[in-house]
Structure 1
C-alpha cells in the first residue's frame, strides 16, 4: 500500500487530542485560497505542516504537546481539511510558497518549522526557497530525491488510481471538514500527480544553512540510506570526540517504526524536537 493510503487509514479516523491549550482557529487568504489554521500555546513560534490526506486533527497529540512549550501555528494545505482548493496542481514548491505567504499574512517573519511526510518535504522546499523564513527545520519522513523512496513505494506509484482512494472509508471522513465536501476526487488526482513530481534537490540541500533535524522510522517510506545521505549533505555523519563541534543538523532513527507510526510517538518526537530546538546535546566523556 502507498504511504498516503497507510497514513490515512491510521490517522484520519483519529479525533483531536485533548489539550490544556485550546487552539484558536481562523482563515486567511493565501495565493487565491482561504487557508485554515489554528494557533495554540505560548513561546517561540513553531509552524506545523501535516502530511498528504491529513489535516490538523489527524496530526494527533503532537500539536498540543508542542503547544506546551511553543506558540504553534498549525495550517491546512490546499484542498485539505478546511482550506479551499483551487484550479492549480499541488507541488512541493507551491506548498512551500503557500507557507511563506501564510507566514507573511499572520505577521510571522521567521519561525521554526516541523513537517511530517508531505509537510516535511514542503518544509524542506520552504528552507530552500525561503531560507529567511525558517529558523530551524524538523523534517519527519522526508526525501530530497525521488530515488530515496523505498523501492516498494516507487513501484506502487504508477498503480495509483483515484478510485483506489475514493472507495476507501476515509473518503467519507473528508466531507466532515472540507470546504467542498465533494472535492475529494479532485484532491486525490492532484496528490497522485504529486507522487510523480520530479525530485532531485541534492545541490540545494547541500547548500542549506538552515539546521535540520531529520526524523525517520527504520521502516519508513524513505530508505535509511537516503536519510543518512541527506544527513551527510547537511554536514553530519562524521566522528565526534575529536575536538570539533558537532554539526547543527541531526539525524534520529526511530526503531521498529513504519511511516504511519512516526507521528504517533508523541513523547519521543517531542523530546527529540525540544532537544534540537534548544541546541542540547548529550555530554561525552571528554566534555
Structure 2
C-alpha cells in the first residue's frame, strides 16, 4: 500500500500475474539507484506507480488496459522488483523525487500519473513537490493524514516487525526479481519505518493544482470520512445541476472492496480512470 505493509505483502503473494506480452524492460540511473521500468502502448504519457512490496507484474491487469490508449511508463520503486536499494530511507517525499528524476532522465516534461497505495501517496507528493510535472493524478487507496486511518489499522501497527516477512514465502517471491537477494530485511525495515513517517498534509493537498481522481474501497485502510475530506480539500463535494461546471477532481468508492481488493478490479478501475484522464464528464439532465 500505502500505510499497510502486511496487506501489501499479502497482495504480492496473491495477485495473479496476467498473461500478456510484456514490453522490454529498461533501466536508468536515478538518485544513486538503478531504476527498472517498462514502457508499453502508444499515446499521451502515463506513469504507473505500484504499492509497497509490489512490482510491475503484481499490479495485474490495469497496466495493459491503460496501455491500450496511453504510452505507459511503469516504474519499480527503490528496493522493489528489479530496482536496486540504496542507503536512504524510503519516504513518500523521496519516492516522489525519484519519479521526478526519472521523468527528467526519460525526457518527460509532464505526464499523467496513476498510483496505487504507496504509489498513490507518492503521486500526491509528486503533485505537491513537483506540480509542473503532473497533468492529472489518479490515486487509489491513499491518505494525507494518519488521523484518517481506520482504528483497526492504528491498533495493528505495533505488530509490524521484520519477522512477519523475513524467511517467509514473501521473501522467496521478492528474491525472484531482486538485484540483491540478500537485501530483503533492509527493505522490510525501511517499509516498516515508513508506516511511522509523519503525515499531516492538509494545506499541501489543498494547494494541489492538478485534477485528482481519488479511488478508495469502502473497506479500505483509510476511513470513508477521510476520503471525503480529501475530496473536499481538492475542491469536490459541491452540488451539480446548477449551471456551474463540476470540479475537475473526482471521488470513486468501490463497493465491498478492501485495500488489497482495489487493484485486482482492473475493468472497474479502467472504467473510472480512462474518462478522468480524457477529461470526460457524464452529462446531466440540464446540460
TM (normalized to structure 1)?
0.97
CA distance in 2, matches of 1:114, 1:120: 7
Counterpart of 2:69 in structure 1 is 69
Counterpart of 2:274 in structure 1 is 274
Distance 1:12 1:106, change over 3 A: farther
Counterpart of 1:25 in structure 2 is 25
Instruction: List aligned pairs for 1:29-68, cutoff 5 A.
Output: 29-68=29-68
Counterpart of 1:6 in structure 2 is 7
CA distance in 1, matches of 2:10, 2:225: 27
Instruction: List aligned pairs for 1:201-280, cutoff 5 A.
Output: 201-280=201-280
Q: Which moved more, 1:165-174 or 1:244-253?
A: 165-174
CA distance in 2, matches of 1:183, 1:194: 17
Instruction: List aligned pairs for 1:75-114, cutoff 5 A.
Output: 75-114=75-114
Indicate the SS of the match to 2:203.
helix
What CA deviation, in whole Å up to 9, does each residue of 1:131-174 have, x standing for no partner? 01100000000001111111111121122111112143211111
What CA deviation, in whole Å up to 9, does each residue of 1:63-113 have, x standing for no partner? 111111110000100000000001110000000000000010011111000
Q: Which runs of 5+ in 2 are unaligned?
A: none
CA distance in 2, matches of 1:100, 1:87: 19
Counterpart of 1:120 in structure 2 is 120
The answer to whether the 8 A contact 1:18-1:64 is kept is no
Q: Which runs of 5+ in 1 are unaligned?
A: none
The answer to whether the 8 A contact 1:12-1:54 is kept is no
The answer to whether the 8 A contact 1:51-1:117 is kept is yes
Residue 15 of structure 1 and its aligned partner are, at CA, apart by 4.8
The answer to whether the 8 A contact 2:4-2:195 is kept is no
Q: CA RMSD in A?
A: 1.2
The answer to whether the 8 A contact 2:38-2:74 is kept is yes
Indicate the SS of the match to 1:100.
helix
CA distance in 1, matches of 2:259, 2:17: 20
What CA deviation, in whole Å up to 9, does each residue of 1:36-74 have, x standing for no partner? 000001111000000000000111111111111110000
Indicate the SS of the match to 2:204.
helix
CA distance in 2, matches of 1:137, 1:202: 17
Query: How many residues are matched?
Result: 285
Indicate the SS of the match to 1:242.
coil
The answer to whether the 8 A contact 1:18-1:61 is kept is no
What CA deviation, in whole Å up to 9, does each residue of 1:225-253 have, x standing for no partner? 00000000011001111111100000000
CA distance in 1, matches of 2:14, 2:236: 37
Residue 285 of structure 1 and its aligned partner are, at CA, apart by 1.1
Indicate the SS of the match to 1:166.
coil
Indicate the SS of the match to 1:104.
helix
CA distance in 1, matches of 2:140, 2:64: 17
Indicate the SS of the match to 1:95.
helix
TM (normalized to structure 2)?
0.97
